[in-house]
């Protein structure tokens, strides 16, 4: 650390970069990775644009040991706390040609050859997202399709060049001689970095087990709990909040697991949004568009399902889905565990049942209805990619012949919390699944909530859209699969 800071942390941060372990002492708990890179270490290749996870200028790639392999994730360094990279390998834009000193990395070469940069401010971020794609797709022998490139670059904004040449570059990377990292040697070096020892006096704790997390939580109930920091990071960079102590759940092994247990898909609260959606897609492939419209990849690579649920934003996207899927959440503390339906977790605007010593531990999603139901998740936002919902509606219908045997409906953007549309469900249950029933239910749905007007949408717009989405669901259930999405995007903008 080159700068002196008002608050000192007792824990040392160590991460691997360019084949060497970087050691940092006395890093305050809310110092971001970007601040450390640019201001403390002087590596200014990584840029700062928005400082809130939206533009991707600050993208870096993290590597983590996974058995004898490495996993790679492009993340936003502007909202990621520096302590969270302890024990990981880090690549910034300065590091790529170092991997192959004789020439540029294929990610860089492709950007040059495709004329994919003008002012260059966004370019380091794009190159790092491309580097992540190179590791995760090109070197695994998987082609980069246009669709994949678009999905994985949706967290990077460019204001001058235009996206066509950048997408071309993504697809062209595979044409250059391949550049491979030595996973064995990186893993060996990573293994030499000791996990941070549990220490109740530490200002940033990174526990590795659930027991250690619950002990830390009980000892420091006022410490700020964080996971991927894609919400909390903005409290730091935009609201200038400082926390005296932070407990980071992102390394808790049990909470990162995703397992099928009996009739439930059990998703650990610290599973990233990317991993959680990948698991959900195995049962419900129809959620693909919805999943890729949740933020951009760097946010999904850091942010967790548990963080989304615990944050409890009324416009959060996973809760309407999880409510419609009848998910339950498990809260854990040293006192034990309790399990509750997700919709009962919320008690008011960003308020919930979590006690001071508890954490959200697991989300249990029943998979028994996978084959029998029709599931649709609709997100209406001003921008198609990387935007927060104005309204989110998820419907999960099971028919018995022509009758509605069951329907569960989760909604976002229409109340102070994510909600279940119980009245509408009751209005439809046992009724014929017909245009007449749906039209009556549209009125019930519009009457069930009193959304606010804000910068995203007016109250009346939200109510109008709610009913329209139910109508759309009806049409899709009748086989009208090819509804013009462009029309819906225009509707969202009007």
Ligand X SMILES: Cc1cc2nc3c(=O)[nH]c(=O)nc-3n(C[C@H](O)[C@H](O)[C@H](O)COP(=O)(O)OP(=O)(O)OC[C@H]3O[C@@H](n4cnc5c(N)ncnc54)[C@H](O)[C@@H]3O)c2cc1C
Instruction: Report the interface residues with ligand X, using CB under 6 A.
Output: 52-54, 225-232, 249, 269, 273, 294-295, 299, 302-304, 306-308, 310-311, 316-317, 354, 359-360, 386, 388
- Which listed option, ligand X, ligand FES, none, makes contact with residue 276 (CB within 5 to 8 Å by class)? none
Q: How far apart are CA 170 and CA 459, in angstroms?
A: 41
Which residues inside 33-92 make contact with ligand FES, applying CB under 6 A?
Answer: 48-51, 53-58, 76, 78
Indicate the residue among 119 and 191 with the shorter CB distance to ligand FES: 119
- Which listed option, ligand FES, ligand X, none, makes contact with residue 121 (CB within 5 to 8 Å by class)? ligand FES
- Which listed option, ligand FES, ligand X, none, makes contact with residue 56 (CB within 5 to 8 Å by class)? ligand FES
Return the H-helix or E-strand segment holding 211.
helix 210-219
* Residues binding ligand FES: number (CB under 6 A): 23
Among the candidate windows 4-12, 115-123, 208-216, 413-421, which touches ligand FES by CB under 6 A?
115-123
- Which listed option, ligand X, ligand FES, none, makes contact with residue 470 (CB within 5 to 8 Å by class)? none
Q: Does 117 bind ligand FES (CB under 6 A)?
A: yes
Which residues inside 354-413 make contact with ligand FES, applying CB under 6 A?
Answer: none
Indicate the residue among 142 and 159 with the shorter CB distance to ligand FES: 159
Indicate the residue among 258 and 441 with the shorter CB distance to ligand X: 258
Q: Does 158 bind ligand FES (CB under 6 A)?
A: yes
CA-based nearest residue to 331, from 308, 298, 355, 365 = 355
- Which listed option, ligand X, ligand FES, none, makes contact with residue 165 (CB within 5 to 8 Å by class)? none
Contacts of 239 (CB under 8 A, 6+ apart): none
Q: Does 118 bind ligand FES (CB under 6 A)?
A: yes
The helix/strand/coil state of 162 is coil
Contact 113, 149 (CB under 8 A): no
Helical spans, DSSP H, in 244-335: 253-256, 273-283, 288-292, 297-302, 305-311, 318-324
Contact 82, 233 (CB under 8 A): no
Structure tokens at 487: 């029309």
Spatial strand order in the sheet of 391-400: 373-380, 391-400, 403-412, 419-420
Spatial strand order in the sheet of 359-366: 258-261, 264-268, 359-366, 328-333, 336-341
Helical spans, DSSP H, in 88-157: 106-113, 123-136, 146-152
Indicate the residue among 54 and 343 with the shorter CB distance to ligand X: 54
Indicate the residue among 318 and 369 with the shorter CB distance to ligand X: 318
Binding site for ligand FES (CB under 6 A): 48-51, 53-58, 76, 78, 117-123, 158-161
């Amino acid at each position: 650390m080159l700068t002196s800071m008002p608050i000192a942390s007792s824990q040392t941060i160590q991460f691997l970069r360019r084949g060497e372990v970087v050691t940092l002492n006395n890093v305050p708990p809310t110092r971001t990775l970007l601040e450390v890179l640019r201001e403390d270490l002087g590596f200014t290749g990584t840029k700062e644009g928005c400082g809130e996870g939206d533009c991707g200028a600050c993208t870096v790639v993290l590597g983590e040991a996974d058995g004898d392999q490495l996993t790679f994730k492009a993340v936003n360094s502007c909202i990621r706390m520096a302590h969270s990279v302890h024990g990981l390998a880090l690549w910034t834009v300065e590091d790529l040609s170092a991997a192959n000193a004789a020439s540029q990395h294929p990610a860089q070469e492709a950007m040059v050859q495709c004329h994919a940069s003008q002012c260059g401010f966004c370019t380091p971020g794009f190159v790092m997202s491309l580097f992540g794609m190179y590791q995760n797709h090109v070197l695994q022998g998987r082609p980069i399709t246009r669709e994949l490139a678009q999905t994985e670059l949706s967290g990077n904004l460019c204001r001058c060049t235009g996206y066509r040449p950048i997408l071309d570059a993504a697809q062209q990377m595979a044409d250059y001689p391949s550049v491979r990292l030595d996973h064995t040697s990186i893993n060996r070096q990573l293994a030499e970095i000791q996990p941070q020892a549990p220490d109740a006096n530490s200002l940033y704790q990174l526990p590795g087990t659930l027991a250690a997390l619950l002990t830390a939580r009980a000892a420091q109930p006022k410490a700020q709990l964080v996971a991927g920091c894609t919400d909390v990071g903005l409290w730091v960079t935009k609201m200038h909040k400082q926390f005296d102590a932070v407990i980071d759940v992102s390394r808790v092994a049990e909470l990162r697991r995703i397992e099928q247990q009996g009739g439930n898909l059990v998703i650990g609260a610290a599973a990233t949004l990317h991993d959680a959606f990948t698991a959900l897609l195995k049962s419900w492939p129809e959620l693909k568009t919805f999943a890729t419209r949740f933020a951009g990849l760097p946010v999904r690579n850091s942010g967790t399902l548990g963080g989304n649920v615990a944050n409890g934003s009324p416009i959060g996207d996973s809760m309407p889905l999880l409510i419609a899927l009848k998910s339950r959440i498990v809260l854990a503390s040293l006192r034990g565990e309790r399990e509750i339906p997700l919709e009962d977790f919320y008690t008011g605007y960003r308020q919930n049942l979590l006690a001071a010593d508890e954490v959200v531990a697991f989300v249990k999603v029943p998979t028994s209805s996978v084959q029998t139901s029709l599931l649709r998740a609709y997100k209406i936002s001003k921008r198609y990619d990387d935007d927060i919902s104005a309204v989110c509606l998820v419907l999960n219908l099971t028919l018995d012949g022509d009758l509605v045997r069951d329907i569960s409906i989760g909604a976002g953007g229409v109340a102070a919390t994510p909600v279940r549309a119980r009245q509408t469900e009751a209005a439809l249950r046992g009724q014929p699944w017909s245009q007449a029933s749906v039209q009556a239910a549209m009125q019930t749905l519009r009457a069930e909530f009193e959304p606010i007007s804000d910068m995203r949408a007016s109250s009346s717009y939200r109510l109008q859209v709610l009913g329209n989405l139910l109508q759309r669901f009806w049409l899709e259930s009748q086989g009208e699969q090819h509804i013009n999405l462009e029309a819906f995007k225009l509707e969202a903008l009007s």
